[in-house]
Structure 1
Amino acid sequence: MSSRVVVLTGASSGIGRAAALAFAARGDRLVLAARGADDLTKVAAACGNDPLVVPTDITRRGDLDALLNRAVERYGHVDVWVDSAAVMAYGTFEDVPPEVFDHMIATDLLGSANVARTALRQFRAQGHGTLIGVSSLLSHVTVPYISAYVTAKWGQRGLFRSLQQETRDAPGIHVCLVAPGSVDTPIYTSAANYAGFVGRPPPPVDSAERIAARVVRLAGKPRPSVSVGATNRLIELGFTLLPPVYDVLVTPLMRRGGLSRQAIDGTDGNVFGPRPRVEGGPGRWSRAQVGAVVAGAALVAGASVRRLLPRN
């Protein structure tokens, strides 16, 4: 098992943190980057083996240049770059302040482009490398109340698909995209919120560790895209083949499954700067809660189908 040099942007929490721990367990040499220095230091301590810690804001291209320079100065090259940095905002499009919407796009889409540009420049220079972007099921379907996140993830998927085409001339360079479904991470509780209730991942919910394991596997055996989630394909199928039913279901399901009953005042969360995060949150579902959401969805779906059926 060969040791690799792995750069992780968004390494301070959630999937990025879990991936850092998984790569460290494998014996890889790590470069950890995110906006929050304190959280990065904690992750580095948990990883062991003296990772390089470089506080970085991916919306700033100069920060990414400095990150790459530090990585190459220490290790000489970069084998894998994993980007999971993202922020989120809850609320209808009209309720989310324009500056919050714009900065989310700057982070989740333009930031991803900044990372890709920096990584590919290094990969071209050395002749090899694997770029892994952490996307979302929401790069394939739409849901209400998180329009900025959906917009960014659809754009990111288009970008990475283009990059896969543009790097066909370099067999040693791989561009991959992982699309998880719901994952229990702090992004929901640290998000900007103008919906009145704290967000949560709708069921079924995967652990960050499961997604991280797939990321590590992808680094060893690159593939253009991987979907991780028990119901991802079913949701995509409904979105594509039954849009009228999907559109009727998605709003009540988002209200019941994607928003907790924990009230919250309007806040810009961690969109403009790092804030302390707590792993987990109101994302852990009991079997009774999951059953209630599924039963409610079935009732709404049945009523919707009946309305769509032709009447004599």
Structure 2
Amino acid sequence: MPEIRNAVTVITGASSGIGKATALEFARAGARLVLAARREEALEATARECRALGAEALAVPTDVAEEAEVEALARAAIDRFGRIDVWFNNVGTGVFGPYWEAPAGLQRKVVEINLIGTLHGSSAALPHFIRQRGGVLINMCSMGGWSPTPFAASYAASKFGIRGFSASLRQELTGYPGIHVCALFPALVDTPGLDRAANLSGRALEPKAPYLTPEAVAAVVLRLVRRPRGEVAVGWTASAARIAYGLAPRLTETVTGALIRAALRRARRVPRTEGAVARPIAAGTSPRSGKPLPHVGGPSLGSLALGGIGLLLGAELLSGALTRRR
């Protein structure tokens, strides 16, 4: 694993949210940064903040859905620093609302940005890792990569895909012990992401669950470079979703769907918007959303309930299987 100090680190989606928080975290640790996002002005602002912390930082405007632009991002890193040690595929977006009410092109764009963008980044990074016989590839999944997300079906499809891609890639690279493929699964995070997503539900996206801070996720990314792991949950809710869906998928689907439908019925009405999915928008350039949100201080009742449901039903299913064997 590379030392963080002077490690050449490529971070996509670095103009806001988790990407920006991670760039600042790595800057404090002395990494050399290559930052990517669609919005040139916001991206350069992140680079300036990193330089103010004493880090070298190169801003490369990039649309990860475009293969040629991601290849150009990798070339820029090599031309500037001569190598790539860490590549963080962080860009993510979504469409919220009934699947059939959103244009198919908008749903496709979510998959292109989230999943195909991850494939593009991995394709750009891995030849350099193989040549160096070392490197850390980190793919941003989410809690939605372990458990379904009703009313965000294309988002869930992309995240399930990233999980499968990452797991498959790890096995392809077993002959390269110095190369690590990590998948990150955060719970709900306080970023501008919900405001920048497409919302065609006509209802405000204001989940009441506690939020992780983007800085907390960034700290996990830094630890992953130092001690790589295949799959890492961040937050109690993510761990609970993994347990619940793994042991009782049908019940977890039913409970999750019922909770989201109930939340939508109570939510205030808002205009429908396509957000920043199809094209960049100016709003949202900070790591956090700027809203007064409850942040995670420990396990929430909801997450413990989900985990408890999964564990209890799993025990019940196991007991039933043993009984049938007798």
The TM-score range, normalised by the shorter chain, is: 0.7 to 0.9
C-alpha contact 1:199 1:260 (8 A) present in aligned 2: no
Deviation at 1:272, TM superposition (A): 1.2
Deviation at 1:50, TM superposition (A): 4.1
Residues 164-191 of structure 1 show CA distances to partners (whole Å, capped at 9, x for unaligned) of: 0011111111111111011111111111
C-alpha contact 1:201 1:283 (8 A) present in aligned 2: no
For the pair 1:265 / 2:271, whether they are aligned, the reply is: yes
Residues 257-277 of structure 1 show CA distances to partners (whole Å, capped at 9, x for unaligned) of: 589834322221101121123
For the pair 1:29 / 2:28, whether they are aligned, the reply is: no
Deviation at 1:111, TM superposition (A): 1.0
- Name the SS of the counterpart of 2:6 in structure 1: coil
Query: What's 2:170 paired with?
Result: 164
Residues 85-118 of structure 1 show CA distances to partners (whole Å, capped at 9, x for unaligned) of: 0111101111121010011111111111111111
Query: What's 1:133 paired with?
Result: 139
Aligned equivalents of 2:266, 2:218: Cα separation in 1? 26
- Change in CA separation of 1:179 and 1:235 when aligned onto 2, cut-off 3 Å: same
Aligned equivalents of 1:151, 1:118: Cα separation in 2? 23
- Name the SS of the counterpart of 2:163 in structure 1: helix
Question: How many residue pairs get matched?
Answer: 296
Q: Does 208-217 or 272-281 show the bigger shift?
A: 272-281
Aligned equivalents of 2:231, 2:169: Cα separation in 1? 12
Q: Output the aligned Cα RMSD.
A: 2.6
C-alpha contact 1:33 1:53 (8 A) present in aligned 2: yes
Deviation at 1:66, TM superposition (A): 0.9
C-alpha contact 1:198 1:259 (8 A) present in aligned 2: no
Query: What's 1:108 paired with?
Result: 114
- Name the SS of the counterpart of 1:6 in structure 2: strand
C-alpha contact 1:182 1:202 (8 A) present in aligned 2: no
- Name the SS of the counterpart of 1:199 in structure 2: coil
C-alpha contact 1:188 1:198 (8 A) present in aligned 2: no
Deviation at 1:38, TM superposition (A): 1.3
Query: What's 1:199 paired with?
Result: 205
Query: What's 1:310 paired with?
Result: none
- Change in CA separation of 1:286 and 1:168 when aligned onto 2, cut-off 3 Å: closer
- Change in CA separation of 1:29 and 1:259 when aligned onto 2, cut-off 3 Å: farther
Query: What's 2:155 paired with?
Result: 149
Paired residues for 1:32-181 under 5 Å: 32-48=35-51, 49-181=55-187
Residue 223 of structure 1, aligned match among 229, 250, 254 = 229
- Change in CA separation of 1:286 and 1:107 when aligned onto 2, cut-off 3 Å: closer
Residues 109-132 of structure 1 show CA distances to partners (whole Å, capped at 9, x for unaligned) of: 111111111110221122211101
Deviation at 1:284, TM superposition (A): 1.1
Once the two structures are aligned, what percentage of the paired residues are identical? 34
C-alpha contact 1:21 1:47 (8 A) present in aligned 2: yes
Q: Does 88-97 or 259-268 show the bigger shift?
A: 259-268
- Name the SS of the counterpart of 2:108 in structure 1: helix
Task: Tell me the amino acid that sits aligned with residue 256 of structure 2.
Answer: V
Q: Give the alignment's TM-score, normalised by structure 1.
A: 0.87
Query: What's 1:13 paired with?
Result: 16
Q: Does 10-19 or 231-240 show the bigger shift?
A: 231-240
Query: What's 1:308 paired with?
Result: none
Aligned equivalents of 1:211, 1:25: Cα separation in 2? 15
- Name the SS of the counterpart of 2:189 in structure 1: strand
Residue 215 of structure 2, aligned match among 198, 209, 212 = 209
Aligned equivalents of 1:4, 1:283: Cα separation in 2? 35
- Change in CA separation of 1:137 and 1:195 when aligned onto 2, cut-off 3 Å: same
User: Which blocks of at least 5 consecutive residues in structure 1 are unaligned?
Assistant: 306-312
- Name the SS of the counterpart of 1:131 in structure 2: strand
- Change in CA separation of 1:225 and 1:259 when aligned onto 2, cut-off 3 Å: farther
Aligned equivalents of 2:69, 2:254: Cα separation in 1? 44
Aligned equivalents of 2:213, 2:266: Cα separation in 1? 18
Aligned equivalents of 2:154, 2:92: Cα separation in 1? 11
Deviation at 1:235, TM superposition (A): 2.3
C-alpha contact 2:31 2:56 (8 A) present in aligned 1: no
Task: Tell me the amino acid that sits aligned with residue 293 of structure 2.
Answer: R
- Name the SS of the counterpart of 1:182 in structure 2: coil
Residues 125-176 of structure 1 show CA distances to partners (whole Å, capped at 9, x for unaligned) of: 2221110111101101002111110000000100011110011111111111
Task: Tell me the amino acid that sits aligned with residue 74 of structure 2.
Answer: L
